[in-house]
Amino acid sequence: EDKVVQSPLSLVVHEGDTVTLNCSYEVTNFRSLLWYKQEKKAPTFLFMLTSSGIEKKSGRLSSILDKKELFSILNITATQTGDSAVYLCAFPSNRDDKIIFGKGTRLHILP
Amino acid sequence: AAGVIQSPRHLIKEKRETATLKCYPIPRHDTVYWYQQGPGQDPQFLISFYEKMQSDKGSIPDRFSAQQFSDYHSELNMSSLELGDSALYFCASSLRTSLSDTQYFGPGTRLTVL
């Protein structure tokens, strides 16, 4: 069964720290891995990763995929209180249209 | 850039009532997905539509139905509401022909059943 596991489940750091969120996966016929940020509302798309070793970057956020070791990391540098959210790792199902989400990492940034 | 629009944003209903949630996808997107997210849960896929036809079905109760209209907006109809239907309902859209797997989510409708 396809699955994605995120760690840590929860993380509390001070503003300005750098954090690394982990996502490991087991997916048959892997196509892509997706990162979303969810605050109190809808998941907001961050990155789609398809190729190993190519870093995707958006401001202070970056992500990379390792297809050999079956994991991805999401880095956030110089964290701000606005980064507090649940970060979801996900992949598109091969059997139907849904996105399969991990349980998420709940990140809380202390001022 | 235009995003997915959902209405209403909040809805309070009583048990056994019906509710209709609306979703307007990103312009030119041809596929719409519905998800249900309970408190502390990750979003669970309900149903999807591609080019106005049902594409896939997930864990959607028989009391719920949905459709996609000619202008690509979609409606989720929920009948005989139960307390357990209280959740955030997200709509997402994508452009299937772009070969991208990315689904873009709307802001959600928070349904509370009393």
Using the Cβ of B89 and the Cβ atoms of chain A, whether some distance falls under 8 Å is answered with no
Q: How confident is residue B13, by pLDDT bands cut at 50, 70 and 90? A: very high
The SS3 assignment for B97 reads helix
Please give the Cα distance from A38 to A15 (Å, whole number): 19
Which residue from B43, B48, B105 is facing A97, i.e. has the nearest CB?
A: B48
Which pLDDT does position B100 carry in this prediction? 67
Judged by CB atoms closer than 8 Å, whether chains meet at B104 and A45 is answered as yes
C-beta pairs of B98-101 under 8 Å, 24+ apart in sequence: B100/A48, B101/A31, B101/A32, B101/A34, B101/A48, B101/A91, B101/A92, B101/A99
By CA distance, what is A98's nearest residue in B?
B45
My answer on whether omega of the bond before B8 falls inside 30° of 0, hence cis, is yes
Strands annotated E in chain B: 5-7, 10-13, 19-24, 31-37, 44-50, 53-57, 64-68, 74-78, 87-94, 104-105, 109-113
Q: Please return the burial class of B66, using the count of CB atoms within 10 Å of its CB with bins 0-12, 13-18 and 19+.
A: buried
Nearest CB among B50, B103, B106 relative to A99 is that of: B103
* Interface membership of B25 toward A (CB under 8 Å): no
Q: Min CA distance, A101 vs chain B (Å)?
A: 6
Task: Determine if the peptide bond prior to A8 is cis (ω within 30°).
Answer: yes
Would you call B34 an interface residue with chain A, using a CB distance cutoff of 8 Å?
A: no
Nearest CA in chain A to B39: A40
Average pLDDT of chain A to the nearest whole number: 91
Tokens standing for A26?
């087991």
Please say whether the beta carbons of B111 and B89 come within 8 A: yes
Predicted confidence (pLDDT) per residue in A12-55, tens digit: 999 999 999 999 999 888 889 999 999 877 889 999 998 888 89
What pLDDT digit, counting tens, does each position of B55-99 carry?
Answer: 888 889 999 999 999 999 999 999 999 999 999 999 999 987 666
Predicted confidence (pLDDT) per residue in B27-45, tens digit: 989 899 999 998 888 889 9
- Using one digit for the tens of pLDDT, what is the confidence trace for A3-16? 899 999 999 999 99
Q: Nearest CA to CA, how far is B14 from chain A (Å)?
A: 23
State mean pLDDT over A67-83: 94
